Structure 1
Amino acid sequence: FGYLSSNGFISEDPTANLGSLRVGRSIPRFISEADIRQLLETAADTGTPEGRRDASILELLYATGLRVSELVALNVQDINFEEGFIRTWGKGSKERIVYLYPEALANLRVYVGGARVALLEQKRGQTAMYVNQRGERLTRQWVWNILKTSAKKAGIDPNITPHTLRHSFCDPFIAERCVPAPRTGVVGTFQHFHDAGLYAPYRSPRPGGVRAKPSKSMT
């Protein structure tokens, strides 16, 4: 009607005072605790530096809810092993402190002291946390490929994305109505899905693990 009215085919638009239709948000996709466990175990079972790196990446994505852009931007100096957290910069270059549960922290320490060293070989001065076989910082696309390949090997949904892991990380806190105020920056807009019963009530953000501490926004 807008086209007909603006081009003189009709005298007025009968829909001019009608509000636009509101399109509902799509339900975030997440994967089950069993699939998460299978994904992590399969990635860690290769016994190569690349495999240990991939397992570390997948666990860190799930354990922290980091975006891929945040993960690939991590440097070794962003980890505080003594206090058990990593420092990252999200949207708008806002600094955040994200705590890790003990198992994830221990596995990250093993990667940094072992697989990462093997991947770097003689390339000195590289500060990137996650690197390829040439000692170069991984790209976002590389992480996507790692996830797709690992999912295929694990026999789970091949359409899984890094954001699926982010949703899966958010779910335990939302489903139990225990999202601390400092954590809302991580969970973001996913909170409104809880009351609709769209998330399954998992008990721990890590399969069989210890609940992670809430992240702290740094101002």
Structure 2
Amino acid sequence: MQLHAAIDEFVLYIEIEKNYSVNTVTSYEKSFTKYCLIERYLANDFTHGIESPKTDDKLPVYMTLTDLKQLFDYLERAQSRFSMRNELMFKLLATTGIRRSELVSLTWGQVDLVNETIRIDGKGKKERILPLHPHLIPLLASYKASLRSYQIYPSEPVFLNKNRKALDPRGLHVIFKDVLKKAGLPPTRFTLHHLRHTFATLMLQQNKENVDLRTVQNL
């Protein structure tokens, strides 16, 4: 394993597996770098000058399984014009690790219902193929069937706002806060980023024997 990959895996282990704060992760990274300098694996200390970021201790790193179940229970019971869309969006965020920006820019050409995957063009044009949870397949198929034929062309966005235009990150944020409130969860406590962390944390907690950190990081 190359050094940078080893460092990435080490930091991911501390942050997710041990559920430590960002400040603690930064401290471990600096200590690990010093060790690499002593052992002459590195010529320079690339962490020099890096300050520990400020964090809000009031915010949790991720939603618990109980929180997630409460959210999903509401989404599955909701009866509104956008209930199916909302259920699909937030279940995708919680079960695939997709970013908010990637979700709102998702097109039907990136969705493969046959192979049960979605293709993501992430940061730096790096492509990822994400597996879809089996429970999401019928929901995704039903949602697609509810749209008009011109709305499901490969270049068309998967998620639309009330004006039938592509949903934007700000709109997604507003919808998430409203859904949290209606689900009986505190809207000031959770963010969309926490939902993404929930995916990684629960994946490791539930599958410690079968899922390694590199797999989670790649997803």
Please name the residue that 1:198 is paired with. Answer: none
Please name the residue that 1:37 is paired with. Answer: 69
Shift of 1:185: 2.8
Q: How many Å separate the matches in 1 of 2:92 and 2:134?
A: 12
What does the per-residue CA deviation read over 1:172-205, in whole Å, with 9 as the maximum and x for residues that have no partner? Answer: 233426325343234xxxxxxxxxxxxxxxxxxx
Q: Is 1:84–1:100's contact at 8 Å kept on the other side of the alignment?
A: yes
What does the per-residue CA deviation read over 1:195-219, in whole Å, with 9 as the maximum and x for residues that have no partner? Answer: xxxxxxxxxxxxxxxxxxxxxxxxx
Shift of 1:171: 0.4
Shift of 1:148: 0.3
| 2:114 aligned with 1:82 | yes
Q: How many Å separate the matches in 2 of 1:109 and 1:162?
A: 24
Shift of 1:51: 1.3
Identify the match of residue 144 of structure 1 among 162, 170, 173. 173
Question: What secondary structure sits across from 2:82 in the alignment?
Answer: helix
What does the per-residue CA deviation read over 1:5-52, in whole Å, with 9 as the maximum and x for residues that have no partner? Answer: xxxxxxxxxxxxxx9796378576211112111112212323233111
Q: How many Å separate the matches in 2 of 1:21 and 1:46?
A: 46
| Letter matched to residue 200 of structure 2 | C
| 2:168 aligned with 1:168 | no
Please name the residue that 2:32 is paired with. Answer: none
What does the per-residue CA deviation read over 1:89-121, in whole Å, with 9 as the maximum and x for residues that have no partner? Answer: 11111111000121012211111112xx1xx59
Please name the residue that 1:51 is paired with. Answer: 83
Uncovered stretches (5+) of structure 1, i.e. residues with no partner: 1-18, 187-219
| Letter matched to residue 91 of structure 1 | K
Question: Residues 57, 90 of structure 1: CA spacing in aligned structure 2 closer, same or farther, 3 A cutoff?
Answer: same
Question: What secondary structure sits across from 2:128 in the alignment?
Answer: strand
| Letter matched to residue 100 of structure 2 | V
Question: Residues 90, 21 of structure 1: CA spacing in aligned structure 2 closer, same or farther, 3 A cutoff?
Answer: closer
| Letter matched to residue 203 of structure 2 | F
| 2:205 aligned with 1:181 | no
Question: Over aligned residues, Cα RMSD in angstroms?
Answer: 2.6
Q: Is 2:200–2:216's contact at 8 Å kept on the other side of the alignment?
A: no
The TM-score normalised by the length of structure 1 is 0.66
Q: Which runs of 4+ in 1 moved over 6 A?
A: 121-124
Q: How many Å separate the matches in 2 of 1:95 and 1:20?
A: 32
| 2:162 aligned with 1:133 | yes
Question: Residues 180, 106 of structure 1: CA spacing in aligned structure 2 closer, same or farther, 3 A cutoff?
Answer: farther
Q: Is 1:65–1:166's contact at 8 Å kept on the other side of the alignment?
A: yes
Uncovered stretches (5+) of structure 2, i.e. residues with no partner: 1-47
Question: What secondary structure sits across from 1:165 in the alignment?
Answer: helix
Question: What secondary structure sits across from 1:138 in the alignment?
Answer: coil
Greater Cα radius of gyration, structure 1 or 2: 1
Question: What secondary structure sits across from 1:49 in the alignment?
Answer: coil
The TM-score normalised by the length of structure 2 is 0.66
Please name the residue that 1:155 is paired with. Answer: 184
Q: How many Å separate the matches in 2 of 1:99 and 1:21?
A: 35
Question: Residues 24, 104 of structure 1: CA spacing in aligned structure 2 closer, same or farther, 3 A cutoff?
Answer: same
